[in-house]
């Protein structure tokens, strides 16, 4: 069993390394988040294109690593098309701290994990602007609506957005002070530039990569005003971030 927890942009390189070492028939449990920018393929689709014989599973959900490391309990979701693999992984990975739900909707679980970073950035921006829980609740609610819009467009089982892979992971990431996405957004709200905020965080912020990918969907006229607002703030040097955020929230209809 190979557990992948690397930045998603290096997944293809990892697959090439596995081919070079003839590790082409193992089980991969993926915890990396992201979608390939040029093709909109998930990590699972990217890996299976290169390693069609592997058994692929995805692990996701409201699991802040620091809390688990401190001995605090959590529950994640394991997604795999093969039910026998799910039971095998349960017997190996489940323990007193970490338990699991199960799903066969691999792509839906992957997409939810990738999209949640954008909403956490939005909550961070609101925090950096001095807003509080009233605004956070609105952003999370509208964020789930936009999850569903994107997932339906991509032909994915949209009800996964309401599972612990979607709304559960979203809420956890948005309220956690340990979230890199939220911290990055807070810095943007405080007036940092994108590059300075990334330097301050000091680690990969997967929500930024996902924002680049979501920009590609703008040509399809999807109704994702909150996510579009976040991408503008990240990439377009918006002068008045406060006005941009408030105007977006005011015009959204849930």
How far apart are alpha carbons 62 and 1 in whole angstroms?
A: 22
**116 a catalytic residue:** yes
Q: Which helix (H) or strand (E) holds 73?
A: none
How far apart are alpha carbons 179 and 139 in whole angstroms?
A: 16
How far apart are alpha carbons 64 and 169 in whole angstroms?
A: 9
Parallel/antiparallel/unpaired status of strands 74-80 and 55-60:
antiparallel
- Given the residues 33, 50, 107, 116, the one annotated as active site: 116
Count Cβ atoms below 10 Å from residue 63 Cβ, excluding itself: 18
Partnered with residue 30 across adjacent β-strands are 4, 58
**Which are the catalytic amino acids?**
116
């Amino acid at each position: 069993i190979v557990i992948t927890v690397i930045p998603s942009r290096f997944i293809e390189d990892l697959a090439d390394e596995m081919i070079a070492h003839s590790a082409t028939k193992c089980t991969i449990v993926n915890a990396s988040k992201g979608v390939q920018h040029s093709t909109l393929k998930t990590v699972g689709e990217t890996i299976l294109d290169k390693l069609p014989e592997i058994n692929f599973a995805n692990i996701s959900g409201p699991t802040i690593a620091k809390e688990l490391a401190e001995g605090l309990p959590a529950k994640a979701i394991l997604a795999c098309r093969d039910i026998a693999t799910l039971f095998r992984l349960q017997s190996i990975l489940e323990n007193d701290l970490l338990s699991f739900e199960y799903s066969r909707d691999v792509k839906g679980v992957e997409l939810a994990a990738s999209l949640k970073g954008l909403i956490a950035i939005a909550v961070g921006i609101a925090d950096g602007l001095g807003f509080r829980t009233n605004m956070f609740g609105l952003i999370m609610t509208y964020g789930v609506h936009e999850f569903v819009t994107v997932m339906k467009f991509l032909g994915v089982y949209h009800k996964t957005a309401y599972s612990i892979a979607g709304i559960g992971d979203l809420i956890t990431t948005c309220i956690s002070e340990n979230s890199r996405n939220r911290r990055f957004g807070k810095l943007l709200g405080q007036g940092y530039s994108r590059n300075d905020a990334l330097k301050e965080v000091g680690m990969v912020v997967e929500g930024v990569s996902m924002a680049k990918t979501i920009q590609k969907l703008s040509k399809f006229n999807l109704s994702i005003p909150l996510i579009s607002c976040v991408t503008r703030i990240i990439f377009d040097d918006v002068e008045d971030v406060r006005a941009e955020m408030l105007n977006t929230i005011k015009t959204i209809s849930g």
